[in-house]
Structure 1
Amino acid sequence: MLHNQFLQIVTRLQSSHIYGFGENNHDTLKHNVYEQKTWGIFARDQSTNWEPNTNHYGSHPFYVLMEQIPNTDGIPSGHMHGVLLLNSNAMDYSFGSTPSLTIRTIGGILDFFIFLGPTPEQVIQQYTWLIGRSILPPYWSLGFQLSRWGYSNLNHMQTVIERNHDAGVPFDVQYADIDYMDSKKDFTIDPIHFRRINEYVSQLHQHGIRTIVILDPSMIDDKDNYAPTIEGIQEDVFISWDHKKKLIKGVCWPGNVFFPDFFTHQTQVWWSRWIKNFRQVNLTFDGLWIDMNEPASFNTNDPLPWNWMETNNSYTLKCPQNLFDDPPYRTKAAFRYDDKMNRSARLSDRTICMSALQGEINPTTDRPKYRHYDVHNLYGWSETRATWNALQLAINKRSLILSRSTFVGSGQWSSHWFGDNEATWHEMKRSLIMMIEFNWFGIPFSGADICGFDKLPSEEMCIRWMQLGAFYPFSRNHNNRKAFEQDPASWPASAVSIMISALRIRYTLLPYYYTLFYKAHTQGSTVIRPLFHEFPTDKTTLDIYLQFLIGPHIMIAPVTDDGARQVRLYIPSSHWYDYYTGSLIQAQQQFVIIEAPLETIPILLRGGAILPTQGYALNTKYSRTKPFGLIIVLNANGQAEGDLFYDDGESLDTIDSESYYYASFTWSSDNSQLSINVIKNNYAHMSELILDSLVIYGWNRIPTRMHVNNNQVYPIMRLHTEIVHIEKLALVMNKNHIVTWDEIVDNDD
């Protein structure tokens, strides 16, 4: 169906196993087509804890569908395909029980791309080949991160950092929210409360702690004293009502604000200059957190901004009545909220007017090329791209951008956190769905605010969320100024010890994570994936989301219910071992009950894997100097394989210049040998590091000794486990090695 400002397409689905579309809140990974709901896609400053069935910060009109064997009751064929509608206008989608899919959009064209897989991983690899591969994050950003909106001053921030350090909490990154600014204005520092922050950041650097600071896109309406605005007006960087350059004025943290138009070259130059100068002169940050970039404007179309009593500012942006701000079809992103307001909801609520103009001047019309109506969902995308280019000039190393609003392709420049959640078990569960979806969307470096941004978590909830968050790709504890502090060391010592235990596992596994991110960056693979990516013909896996895989080999089954001390999890085919005890899970293609005392998060290892590890330390500056190890998990045939990617963790051109290390590992019980084959050896520091230990699961025929480099080493069974441990190998990492053994003793006898 095609009309002016309305395009609709209806398609019959090959099966009901459909996933994806975002960013909106839903409570299962697989969409329930039989509910016949409609969902909006439109970037808006709306928390994940809003009413059900609401749209959020980004726009990702991409879905994947697991195909079924014809004439069966939904039995999956193992083949998956994906579909992208490349369209930046507001849209919604709905399902029918046929099953069918209806997509409606209010502009642009129906520009579809289809990805035929046929495996789930191949679908995502093909999708990211088109939209851009995800970032290779700096190694330090894989460490745990601390944040809070509500540090009252630098001493407060310093106290939090020191108490976590003293408690032995490992972490790599400290954030500065808008507290550090002078009156919440970008490119400023509070001259009283954060006067010496740059000096303190330098001290943190010496100890391996990085700093990321927040920047919002909007600039205060101060044409007399605030240089970014003064220069921005002179250089024509702000979004205007019309070609006469009357500026759109909204409301955000500092008060009345203007909005940069990142589609124009002059804005990108202005933004880059201010970022570079701010870092050189004021604050030597390591990355940027770009927030409020939907863009957010407080209470547009309402009489007063929500914080008017705090700011003594009663102005709000009022959008005129026209076909852009009030289109014939408003989409679910607007009409979903009619029953919550004393007026009809509008697309421009909480953001800027759709009728605004953006982009370079079209020489034919002498007007900007775009309406905000058409490019609204690209605002965060355009700011992210400009910020990426600015940081490369300012730092000349890999940095980290954390963006709230995202669009198709944002992952090639940024990471993403899921926004303002609440400290509830429900929100913890939702984070698992979003984590998988953003791996599909090509932004694998993502995660939720651990322990919740809003409201107060119980001690047990924060323990369980820290256990889960220790395995988010992006692992950050963050909350707001209205809540009590919830950083790990703010809890009793018993809770801190449990949180540290989970983080300790994460830090040990960072080489495995980093290798997965290398594959995501170069091949488009997922880092976090649902079970059906690895077991696509197992129908049961299609509905599972409360357990997930890190790569193909580690299964995490977090506790997401209050008071629970067990989890019910599904064991797909193949060998799976308990991470802590080494015992083989005696089940295949069935649900089992796993004990989950408060002190542990259930972790299973898949047979056939070799996982690289590295020694634990309080941050990656020190862990990167520790010896490596291998976790070897044997399959039913006594075989295993794996690999390791490693580099300096921060250079921009690691891949292009091939200045990295890459090795493969192969264990063969039949041949009684472990082979270590160095394939790329262009990271010189590897000559100073050693492989010192092996941890082996599923080894039932254990030799009395092993041979390597004319030396002998001796396997030891860990006490009260079925895990074999071999230490003191001292094998230099930049050489090939073969470990052999003989004199087998059958452990089953």
Structure 2
Amino acid sequence: MRLLLLLFYTFSAISCTSSTEDQRVECLPGTDKNSCTALGCIWEPTESPAPNCYLPPQYGYSTLSDLYEIENGMAIDLEKSTSISMFDGDFEKVTVSFVHMSENLLRIKMEPVDEKRYQVPITILGSEEPPTTMNYEYQITKDPVFSFKVVRKSTGTVLFDTSLGGLTLADQFLQLAVQLSSSNIYGFGEQEQPSLRHDMNWKTWGMFARDHAPEGDANLYGVHPYYMNVEPDGNTHGVLFLNSNAQEVTMTPAPGLVYRTIGGILDIYIYLGPTPEKVVGQYTASLGRYEPPPFWALGFHLCRWGYNSVANMKAAWQRTLDSGIPFDVQWGDIDYMDRALDFTYNPTDFQELPAFVDELHEKGMKFVPILDPCISTGEPAGSYPPFDEGNTQDIWVKDASGNPLMAKVWPADYCHFPDFFTSKTEDWWLNQLANFYSTIKYDGIWIDMNEPANFVTGSVDGCQENKWNNPPYKPKTDGGDSLLDKTICMDATQSEGIHYDVHSMFGWSEARATNRALREITGKRPFIISRSTFVGSGKYTGHWLGDNWSEWDNMHFSIIGMLQFNHFGMPLVGADICGFIGNTTEELCARWHQLGAFYPFSRNHNLLESIDQDPGVWGLDSIVARAARNALKTKYALLPYLYSLFYKSYNEGGTVARPLWHEFVTDQEALGIDTQFLLGPAVMVSPILDQGKTKRNVYLPGGENTVWYDAYTFERFSAAMKILEVTSDLNNPEDSTPLHIRGGYILPVQDPAGNTAQQRETRTLNLFGYLDSEEKGTGEVYLDDGESMDLTLYTHVKFMVNPGKMDFEVVQDAYTDAMNWKIDYIRLAGISQNIDKVEINGEAAIFTYNPEYQILDILPENFMITGANSITWTSSASHQQSP
């Protein structure tokens, strides 16, 4: 075994340290020449954004041993090499482990010797058996200090190189500088990033869960210290820093990054890919994948904070229905509650809410209420079970003195936060949700304010002065000099440890508890949307992008956030359509509906003080109602395709919404595009994002043999033209979101109906084939009952077109009702020869052929989707045309 392991590392005595400005690693306490040199660091002022005070080449750790064998890997022991200490508490001796998790997953763990440190309580899964071959190797350098490189074996590309120096392992300050394979880096969150590809000019992003509206570079609700890097040859890898403490990352022009955190250990996972979709698939396989949501969850959702009565809620609901807009889910924000108390409803203004929810269900629609985690302490004893039972079971987060921490959120009285890390808290949460369900038959749960958010700093009683509440270094996070702003004391205690360590996992733990509860209560696939998320939250919940602004640039930012969360393994994601904060305008709301219809999670939602913005309020024939109606009818038509993408993501890994470069990773222009996106490999969405515009340029990725089709007209375009000008005029009743379909794909679609229940009742599909330049195409559809928890009970059918023939393959047939689903209509675009005969399973079929658009339409009879079907066509003449 040792000989086998030795094949995957090498030693080197070559120093790779450079003193160029782009490769400096900042000596953080050095704010001027005197403080810098007193630390032993180098002071060289520069006019660039590079640090003036930086660490010398000899800073870091020296090797105490050669690499030695450990279980499933190798390790090496180190000792601190200099007396320089930026923030004290440095660990003198550490061990670096290289653990072979699978052939495409390497774990690198750096921790002090003989000292127990907090580690994130999430298990990262590798292969079931130790890998015998690896697609990576690691190279160790000893001079001037320890560093290592991770190399892709097949190409020799260096993926992760720590020779920039700066390695620090201290009690409350850990740092690692990394040279990247290229400057095409994507990820890290959650913030409102202005571009999907990172700015490498010394830009720093903080990560610490916080209740903050998306704005500037503030750290937001979730923490995802994960990135993807596209290598120069187009191969792609991903890297996770598994850490839940407050942290930051600085992008440098090297190209590189400097990662810093103030607790735990450095625990790094490198995913080899090599394609972008394989990277995401490996990442989600190691953490747990998001299940396909209930089918209805992909429909249109409507909410606002400020209905103030069930009558106003019903009015907005009715306006939407009257506008002819496909519509599935009505939501309730905190104003439905009795005095902001969880698991209650207002007995006066929302007295009829249970009856309204029943009415929704009768019409095939759903209801989702909000819940906040902080439980009021002010109700009379015995009158409010959530508090009384929580007290009896001792489930609360405790302050440093061991008493339940007292916070202030929406209820009038002070409140306690549950510690969702304990099983007894999960049981308590389940019981409260079950009791609530007996009153209101909700269909999903919206969990909010779970960073956790607090309206006072730390607690009502304040926080102690100690190293947890006042760490020696605070990463670049919002809230001034304090980590306590808008949340709870860092020395509060939970079952997993002090809040300092687990703060950013609060939403993760609540989502896990909610997921379990909904499974047991409803017996159906759970639907949950959470504001705060962490690494692995996609196993339990979807996400919306928070309290965005009713401003034009926020539409662009929402595309970036949606694509990032697909990278993070959370494909059910979207932003508040028309914006949450401020008053939208008619034009902005119309354009946002054209975009938001194609978010995987499509919800219109806004703020208490803002005007109504449901699409019907503008008038039944307003540009907003028309835009929403047109775009959502298209989205509903695509739901079989979109739902199949979620199944494929769950079964095989990968994204639902993805950037263009995922499919065209060697297209240099595509690497920087984030105003267009793909749904799966085939559907390209190119919304108009600018005020007053009716046209935009659409970039067509791919080579000269790549074909794109207008989704509405079936007009063909070659990617060789690269730029296509499109028009979407809100004053034209027929115009909608610019969509293009990639040649080579067959999409399962349905005729849109008023809601998904009505749409599914037809049990019919249509197939739209957009053939490539060789007149070939593939597609697939997953069918199930739309809500079952048993995710093996599906039927999976593939479609394959080759010149003159279309075949159907039933890959799995476990959904019993699939035998009743049929295909009503098939359209194949891109057939260049006149067709004079079509046969289905050897029998003549009804068809038409349009030679101008090269479209073959087939009208089968009793064409059941699970049959052993084959379609052939022949031509009597040929008149080849170029796309």
Tell me the TM-score normalised to structure 1 length.
0.91
Provide the rounded CA distance (Å) in 2 between the counterparts of 1:544 and 1:271: 43
Asked if residue 696 in structure 1 is aligned to residue 823 in structure 2, the reply is: no
Asked if residue 203 in structure 1 is aligned to residue 359 in structure 2, the reply is: yes
Q: Is the 8 A contact 1:581 1:722 kept in 2?
A: no
Q: 1:61 aligns with which of 179, 204, 225?
A: 225
Provide the rounded CA distance (Å) in 2 between the counterparts of 1:464 and 1:705: 44
Residue 323 (structure 1) aligns with: 467
- The one-letter code matched in structure 1 to 2:493 is L
Asked if residue 668 in structure 1 is aligned to residue 802 in structure 2, the reply is: yes
Q: Which moved more, 1:619-628 or 1:408-417?
A: 619-628
Q: Which has the higher contact order (CA 8 A, sep 6+)?
A: 1
Residue 498 (structure 2) aligns with: 371
Q: 1:189 aligns with which of 329, 338, 345?
A: 345
Question: Kindly tell me: are residues 106 and 250 of structure 1, through their superposed partners in 2, closer, same or farther at Cα, counting changes over 3 Å?
Answer: same
Residue 608 (structure 2) aligns with: 481
Q: Secondary structure at the match of 1:385?
A: helix
Provide the rounded CA distance (Å) in 2 between the counterparts of 1:406 and 1:535: 29
CA-to-aligned-CA distance 1:609-665 (integer Å, 9 cap, x gap): 01111221111111112220111011011100111111001110122xxx2111010
Pairwise CA distance, 1:702: 3.6
Residue 155 (structure 2) aligns with: none
Q: Is the 8 A contact 1:402 1:416 kept in 2?
A: yes
Provide the rounded CA distance (Å) in 1 between the counterparts of 2:776 and 2:851: 24
Q: 1:285 aligns with which of 423, 433, 442?
A: 442
Residue 662 (structure 2) aligns with: 533
Q: 2:178 aligns with which of 4, 8, 11?
A: 11
Pairwise CA distance, 1:134: 1.2
Provide the rounded CA distance (Å) in 1 between the counterparts of 2:356 and 2:421: 36
Asked if residue 685 in structure 1 is aligned to residue 812 in structure 2, the reply is: no
- The one-letter code matched in structure 1 to 2:737 is I
Residue 37 (structure 2) aligns with: none
Question: Kindly tell me: are residues 700 and 104 of structure 1, through their superposed partners in 2, closer, same or farther at Cα, counting changes over 3 Å?
Answer: same
Q: Is the 8 A contact 1:9 1:102 kept in 2?
A: yes
Q: Is the 8 A contact 1:704 1:714 kept in 2?
A: no
Question: Which protein shows a greater Rg?
Answer: 2
Which 5+ residue runs of structure 1 have no aligned equivalent? Answer: 69-76, 302-314, 339-344, 360-368
Asked if residue 616 in structure 1 is aligned to residue 752 in structure 2, the reply is: yes
Q: 2:632 aligns with which of 473, 487, 503?
A: 503
Provide the rounded CA distance (Å) in 2 between the counterparts of 1:38 and 1:19: 14
Pairwise CA distance, 1:195: 1.3
Provide the rounded CA distance (Å) in 1 between the counterparts of 2:242 and 2:664: 29
Question: Kindly tell me: are residues 316 and 398 of structure 1, through their superposed partners in 2, closer, same or farther at Cα, counting changes over 3 Å?
Answer: same
- The one-letter code matched in structure 2 to 1:333 is T
Asked if residue 101 in structure 1 is aligned to residue 229 in structure 2, the reply is: no
Q: Secondary structure at the match of 1:185?
A: coil
Residue 28 (structure 2) aligns with: none
Aligned pairs (5 A) from 1:125-204: 125-204=281-360
Provide the rounded CA distance (Å) in 1 between the counterparts of 2:809 and 2:867: 8
Q: 1:32 aligns with which of 189, 195, 199?
A: 199
Pairwise CA distance, 1:590: 2.5
Residue 420 (structure 1) aligns with: 547
CA-to-aligned-CA distance 1:196-239 (integer Å, 9 cap, x gap): 21122112111110111111000012262422112211110111
Asked if residue 250 in structure 1 is aligned to residue 407 in structure 2, the reply is: yes
Question: Kindly tell me: are residues 266 and 137 of structure 1, through their superposed partners in 2, closer, same or farther at Cα, counting changes over 3 Å?
Answer: same
Q: Is the 8 A contact 2:542 2:570 kept in 1?
A: yes
Residue 451 (structure 1) aligns with: 578
Pairwise CA distance, 1:709: 4.3
Q: How many pairs does the alignment contain?
A: 701
Question: Kindly tell me: are residues 275 and 718 of structure 1, through their superposed partners in 2, closer, same or farther at Cα, counting changes over 3 Å?
Answer: farther
Provide the rounded CA distance (Å) in 2 between the counterparts of 1:227 and 1:436: 41
- The one-letter code matched in structure 2 to 1:616 is P
Q: Secondary structure at the match of 2:635?
A: helix
Residue 569 (structure 1) aligns with: 698
CA-to-aligned-CA distance 1:365-405 (integer Å, 9 cap, x gap): xxxx4000000011000000011111111111112010000
- The one-letter code matched in structure 2 to 1:11 is V
Question: Kindly tell me: are residues 621 and 720 of structure 1, through their superposed partners in 2, closer, same or farther at Cα, counting changes over 3 Å?
Answer: farther
Residue 350 (structure 1) aligns with: 486
CA-to-aligned-CA distance 1:338-385 (integer Å, 9 cap, x gap): 3xxxxxx311101111010001xxxxxxxxx40000000110000000
Q: Secondary structure at the match of 1:735?
A: coil
Pairwise CA distance, 1:316: 4.5
Question: Kindly tell me: are residues 746 and 455 of structure 1, through their superposed partners in 2, closer, same or farther at Cα, counting changes over 3 Å?
Answer: farther
Question: Kindly tell me: are residues 733 and 177 of structure 1, through their superposed partners in 2, closer, same or farther at Cα, counting changes over 3 Å?
Answer: same
Q: Is the 8 A contact 2:833 2:854 kept in 1?
A: no
Residue 622 (structure 2) aligns with: 494
How much identity, in percent, do the aligned residues show?
42
User: Alignment RMSD, CA only?
Assistant: 1.7
Asked if residue 581 in structure 1 is aligned to residue 713 in structure 2, the reply is: yes
Provide the rounded CA distance (Å) in 2 between the counterparts of 1:157 and 1:46: 27
Q: Secondary structure at the match of 1:20?
A: strand
Q: Is the 8 A contact 2:323 2:629 kept in 1?
A: no
Provide the rounded CA distance (Å) in 2 between the counterparts of 1:702 and 1:184: 67
Aligned pairs (5 A) from 1:422-437: 422-437=549-564
Residue 686 (structure 2) aligns with: 557
Aligned pairs (5 A) from 1:241-320: 241-242=399-400, 245-255=402-412, 256-280=414-438, 282-300=439-457, 316=460, 318-320=462-464
Q: Secondary structure at the match of 1:175?
A: strand
Q: Secondary structure at the match of 1:577?
A: strand
Asked if residue 633 in structure 1 is aligned to residue 789 in structure 2, the reply is: no
Provide the rounded CA distance (Å) in 1 between the counterparts of 2:171 and 2:721: 52
Provide the rounded CA distance (Å) in 1 between the counterparts of 2:828 and 2:197: 36
Question: Kindly tell me: are residues 467 and 370 of structure 1, through their superposed partners in 2, closer, same or farther at Cα, counting changes over 3 Å?
Answer: same
Tell me the TM-score normalised to structure 2 length.
0.78
Question: Kindly tell me: are residues 321 and 745 of structure 1, through their superposed partners in 2, closer, same or farther at Cα, counting changes over 3 Å?
Answer: farther
Pairwise CA distance, 1:723: 4.6
Q: Secondary structure at the match of 1:237?
A: coil
Q: Is the 8 A contact 2:834 2:851 kept in 1?
A: no
CA-to-aligned-CA distance 1:269-299 (integer Å, 9 cap, x gap): 111111111102x111010000000001014
Q: Is the 8 A contact 2:832 2:854 kept in 1?
A: no
Provide the rounded CA distance (Å) in 1 between the counterparts of 2:693 and 2:644: 33
Q: Is the 8 A contact 2:745 2:771 kept in 1?
A: yes
Q: Secondary structure at the match of 1:664?
A: strand
Q: Is the 8 A contact 2:421 2:494 kept in 1?
A: yes
Aligned pairs (5 A) from 1:730-749: 730-746=862-878
Pairwise CA distance, 1:452: 0.5
- Which one has the bigger helix percentage? 1
Provide the rounded CA distance (Å) in 1 between the counterparts of 2:628 and 2:212: 30
Residue 341 (structure 1) aligns with: none
Q: Is the 8 A contact 1:577 1:607 kept in 2?
A: yes
Q: Is the 8 A contact 2:826 2:859 kept in 1?
A: yes
Pairwise CA distance, 1:687: 2.1
Q: Is the 8 A contact 1:272 1:390 kept in 2?
A: yes
CA-to-aligned-CA distance 1:545-579 (integer Å, 9 cap, x gap): 10111100111111000111111121122111111
CA-to-aligned-CA distance 1:85-143 (integer Å, 9 cap, x gap): 11010000101111121011000000000001111111111111111111210111111
Provide the rounded CA distance (Å) in 2 between the counterparts of 1:748 and 1:461: 44
Provide the rounded CA distance (Å) in 2 between the counterparts of 1:321 and 1:332: 21
Question: Kindly tell me: are residues 488 and 270 of structure 1, through their superposed partners in 2, closer, same or farther at Cα, counting changes over 3 Å?
Answer: same
- The one-letter code matched in structure 1 to 2:453 is A
Provide the rounded CA distance (Å) in 2 between the counterparts of 1:379 and 1:322: 22
CA-to-aligned-CA distance 1:161-181 (integer Å, 9 cap, x gap): 122112211111111111111
